[in-house]
A and B are shown apart, each in its own frame.
Chain A
Amino acid sequence: MYLESSIGTSRVKRGLADMLRGGVIMDVVNPEQAKIAEDSGAVAVMALERVPSDIRRDGGVARMSDPEMIVGIQKMVTIPVMAKSRIGHFAEAQILQALDVDFIDESEVLTPADEANHIDKWAFTVPFVCGATNLGEALRRIGEGACMIRSKGEAGTGNIVEAVRHLRTINAEIRRLHTADSSELYTLAKDLGAPLALVQEVAELGKLPVPLFCAGGISTPADAALVLQMGAEAVFVGSGIFKSSDPERMARAIVEATTHYQDASVLARVSTGLGDAMKGFETSTLDQRFAERGW
């Protein structure tokens, strides 16, 4: 069709991740929420049946969403629609690709399907995002073909502490590589459990070769500004919007805070009179830590 053209190249897949930078990706469970998200300036929506805080409350096995619900959301909005597959569940990913979703999140929020292997993401045309708690995990996912990394945080808690821990860890490990002597990179690659070529690339670039976003616990405009100032390039907000007392207002405030994250006067204005943020959990009381899923 096109002269020497190709679909699904790394540049095309990582390119969409680049287009989402500086934006807010919002979890939505129905077309009405998707509309509110788009109206509020979301850069993409994540279509799922239950937000993480409800998955946490309900227990049981959490799986890919019903295609009918995903298609309903695709019809409602013009922005990219993402959906989650279970870790290692490549058949769910095949289904999501057949539905023309724009991005797949191989997510620890769902119940893992494979305790040893993640999905071979190079086999897909659709781009993937994966979570990571440290640099080795991030580079293993990129080695498998992930086009975007999100620090995991602890989804469904409304508590930013784990997201901060994971972002700080990833950034500190990147700085370590960036200042390392080239002869040290072999042992550092072994210690990180990461492919040598990617370790060398990060050492050279001083950053990941794909965008680094932040997820898991962002529930206020100030939370978004915090992680962006720490180097996250965009934010995922899950339960934080639709579990707050005024979702539309919270959504708009987090979008504005994400653009003007360095301007404290804007942050003060958008943080004023927002109503109640989601209640949230103190993470030390959790029975199940989603962030521990993935290998």
Chain B
Amino acid sequence: MPRVGVLALQGDVREHVSVLKVLGVQVSTVKTREELAEVEALIIPGGESTTMSHLLEISNLRADLSERLADGLAVLGTCAGLILLSKNISDGRSDQWSFGALDVDVRRNGYGRQVASFETLVEVAGIGKVQSVFIRAPRIERFGSDVEILASLDDGDGPHPVLVRQGAVWGCSFHPELTTDSRIHGMFVESIDASR
């Protein structure tokens, strides 16, 4: 089993740790460069993307994580994590940066503010229907040809991807960690094993 880290600068870290433990994965939290160096895969949790990008910089993690991503580190980003992995961000801060590890463009709060946040069932390739929780969620508005779409949602404006994968990098608009369903994390963990 790979050792999976959960970026623990801010956000719903505990829920990701719990799901990984259910799956029998060795888990550690990552707040420092040393802790990042020790993990074989990483989850970037939900939270506030602007806060996390600020903390990545002041904790000297931005360059290290960027390097690990270039080396093919397996990463799953949920909600804010997806924003941080994306190529371009709209409706963000004018100076908001992202790692660009996933060839998608996202719109922050693309499904609306909190009063419009919702949960629904989405069909995920290979595993079936999954209850998915969207909280001020980013919307994927463009994706490159190398991006595999694992789930989409039609919110009346045509289907938009909500779970995508490009090689070792996974991005999810919603929060699989907020339900007791561990299947999406399971797919991610299996993909790490397969690539080793």
Contact = CB atoms under 8 A, between A and B. Distances in A.
Interface stretch (B49-57, B69-77, B184-192): B49-57
A19 B46 contact: yes
Nearest to B45: A19
Contacts of B58: 41, 252, 256
Contact of A80 (B114, B116, B133, B155): B114
Interface stretch (B6-14, B19-27, B98-106, B165-173): B6-14
B31 interface: yes
Interface string B147-187: 00000011110000000000000000001001100000000
Given A15-B175, A97-B115, A22 B136 contact: no
Would you call the interface of chain A mostly helix, strand, loop, or mixed? Answer: loop
Contacts of A256: 55, 58
B118 A43 contact: no
A39 to B, nearest CB: 8
A12 B153 CA distance: 17
Given A78-B92, A259-B59, A19 B11 contact: yes
Contact of B46 (A2, A18, A40): A18
Contacts of B38: none
A5 B174 CA distance: 13
A126 B112 CA distance: 13
A256 B175 CA distance: 25
A163 B179 CA distance: 32
A252 B179 CA distance: 33
Interface residues of B, number: 46
Contacts of A105: none
Interface in B102-155: 108-109, 113-121, 133-136, 153-155
B91 interface: yes
A78 B108 contact: yes
A18 to B, nearest CB: 4
- Indicate the member of B50, B51, B118 with the most A CB atoms within 10 Å: B51
Contacts of B79: 19
Contacts of A23: 10-11, 47-48, 51
A16 interface: yes
A78 B178 contact: no
Interface of B: 8-15, 31, 46-48, 50-51, 54-55, 58-59, 79-80, 91-93, 96, 108-109, 113-121, 133-136, 153-156, 175, 178-179
